[in-house]
């Protein structure tokens, strides 16, 4: 449960990053920051998947983790190619930094677990993570993307995130 809370907190920060300030102006990530956030989010799920492939016991959890590695690696490659094509260099942001920091905390939490407890905690985290990513992409990243191709790429990736969420929820219900 603690790991789930970490993910939700971090991505909730990303979602609220575009809320109006006291001056009435919305602050949101730039296109280079959006690329950096997407790259960070993908790498987090790739790394978590690699850890789960090595540590999970349930075959469906291992298969899901491998799918996360495969799918997010492909998306990572696509984002890097698009960034190069558009001459957009990923830029750091507080959101990407927070994602990385909280992912490290979650990894430490999961590292101390084993067996069915690990499998459940990993899948619970993936459910929370994918829901938070969907919220961040739809409420923050897409609305703030200035480049049409970047916006289209984010819109095109959304169904994959929803598919991952539904798959993780299915596994989650079978583990309880």
Reading the block at residue 62, the tokens are: 């291992």
pLDDT bin (cut points 50, 70, 90) of residue 14 is very low
Reading the block at residue 116, the tokens are: 């069915």
The pLDDT value given to residue 27 = 77
Tens of pLDDT, residue by residue over 107-166, are 999 999 999 999 999 999 999 999 999 999 999 999 999 999 999 999 999 999 999 999
Tens of pLDDT, residue by residue over 100-118, are 998 999 999 999 999 999 9
**pLDDT, averaged across the chain:** 87
Domains of the chain, first to last: 2-7+30-175 (1.20.1260.10)
Which residue is it, tokens 């959890």? 61
Reading the block at residue 21, the tokens are: 């300030």
The pLDDT value given to residue 176 = 73
């Amino acid at each position: 449960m603690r790991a789930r809370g970490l993910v939700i907190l971090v991505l909730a920060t990303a979602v609220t990053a575009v809320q109006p300030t006291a001056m009435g102006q919305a602050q949101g990530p730039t296109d280079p920051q959006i690329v950096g956030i997407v790259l960070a989010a993908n790498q987090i799920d790739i790394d978590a998947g690699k850890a789960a492939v090595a540590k999970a016991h349930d075959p469906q959890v291992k298969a899901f983790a491998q799918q996360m590695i495969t799918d997010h690696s492909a998306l990572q490659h696509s984002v890097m190619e698009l960034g190069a094509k558009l001459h957009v260099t990923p830029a750091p942001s507080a959101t990407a930094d927070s994602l990385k920091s909280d992912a490290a905390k979650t990894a430490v939490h999961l590292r101390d677990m084993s067996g069915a407890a690990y499998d459940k905690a990993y899948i619970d985290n993936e459910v929370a993570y994918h829901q938070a990513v969907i919220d961040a992409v739809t409420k923050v990243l897409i609305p703030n993307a200035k480049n049409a191709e970047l916006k289209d790429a984010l819109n095109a990736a959304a169904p994959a995130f929803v598919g991952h969420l539904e798959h993780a929820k299915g596994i989650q219900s079978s583990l309880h």
